[in-house]
Amino acid sequence: MRNFQFLIFNFQNRKAGFTRYINFGCRPWRHDHTDGRSCITGFTLLEIVVSIAILILIASAASVSFSNSRKVRELTTASQNVLSILRTAQSKTLAGEEASQWGVHIEQTQVILFRGATYAGAGLTETYPLPSTIEIANITLLGSGSDVIFKRIEGTTDETGAFELRVKSDTTKTFSITVDSSGKVYQTGTAPTPIGTRITDARHRAFALGWSIQNSTTTTLTFENPPYPNTIVMILMASYFDAGKTKFDWSGTIAVGTTTQILRIHTTSLSVADTILHIDRDCRRNTKKMRIDIDAKYIALYEADCKTVIVGNYGGTMTEP
């Protein structure tokens, strides 16, 4: 085959004439006798095979890394969802929703939130399937069951123990969950610091008043906002009872100076003789000192530090769920 020739015209000097072409070509594997140079072009078969092998190894390593990363991500997400469902069951129980206990039934491929003291007789269920790549195994709850049921008012449970979520295709990848007697659920090995060594807060308190609020008319909230005057809110209670006055449930957002305070006041038990009153006051949303009175009966005083609660003359017995 003839060499490729590129015509390059040179008009620099008429006397010298012009160069018709300059030869940039070379014959593969041959000696070019015109200028004494050797030239080799292209790749050998061995070089091509080695290059392809290296690319395959790099692609395989990247694929394995991506697959492992995806499995860990799916496992973590599914486990956090299960923790959230367990905490939802406890929250519903503490709030006395539908005047019932709530629990979670655990199966290999799904968890089921249910209302009632037992899963078998549950009046309401919500099913949360796991991703197809994840399963639950090694359930070791007290009583050899697969249900975690929370107690009313306290939010505690007798079904203590643990279970794990794992990747089906790689059972060495696991996420273990622990359920303790206080009702707390968490990833095994990351237990919350026990009461007495941690900073406690007053986000939720229950008051066994020892008297009934069925005939009460006004709840008064007094917020301190120094150096400005107190903010006083009076809640007319009639609108927040159910028809039979077996429940009371109020929640609201209150402007105090330049801040807003968000809280909920409700009952989990209300009869002609007694009241279990719950006050939900998240420390992230409440920063002001607050006093609660019902018909001028002093129930409780919440300090601004969100740690201290003083029970009033009519606040009865206070518990921390």
Residue-level pLDDT, tens digit, the chain, 321 residues:
444 444 334 444 444 444 444 444 455 444 444 555 555 556 787 778 888 888 888 876 666 555 567 788 888 889 989 998 999 999 888 888 888 999 999 999 999 999 999 999 888 899 999 999 999 999 999 876 899 999 988 889 999 999 999 999 988 888 999 998 888 888 875 444 444 433 455 577 889 999 999 999 999 999 999 999 999 999 999 999 999 999 999 999 999 998 899 899 999 999 999 999 999 888 777 889 999 999 999 999 999 887 788 999 999 988 875
| 197 within some domain | no
Shared domain check, 238 and 311: yes
Shared domain check, 179 and 71: yes
State the virtual CA torsion across 34, 36, 37, 40 in degrees, nearest 10: 70
Shared domain check, 162 and 86: yes
| 192 within some domain | no
| 301 within some domain | yes
Provide CB contacts within 8 A for 248, sequence distance 6+.
Answer: 213, 237, 240, 241, 265, 266, 267, 270, 277
* Residue 101, number of CB atoms within 10 A of its CB: 20
Mean pLDDT for all residues in the chain: 81
Residue 260 domain boundaries: 204-319
**Of 113, 294, 318, whose CA–CA distance to 206 is shortest?**
318
Shared domain check, 96 and 23: no
pLDDT score recorded for residue 20: 47
Give the distance, in angstroms, between the CA of residue 162 and the centroid of all CA atoms in the same chain.
19
Shared domain check, 71 and 36: no
pLDDT score recorded for residue 68: 65
pLDDT score recorded for residue 246: 95
Shared domain check, 280 and 217: yes
From CA 302, how far away is CA 311, in angstroms rounded? 9
pLDDT score recorded for residue 59: 72
Shared domain check, 272 and 240: yes
What is the value of pTM for the model shown?
A: 0.44
Shared domain check, 214 and 112: no
Main-chain phi, psi angles of 21, to 5 degrees: -160, 160
**CA atoms 7, 11, 12, 18: torsion sign:** positive
Q: Count the domains in the chain.
A: 3
CATH of residue 129: 3.55.40.10
Shared domain check, 211 and 180: no
pLDDT score recorded for residue 65: 55
pLDDT score recorded for residue 5: 42
Shared domain check, 219 and 148: no
| 171 within some domain | yes
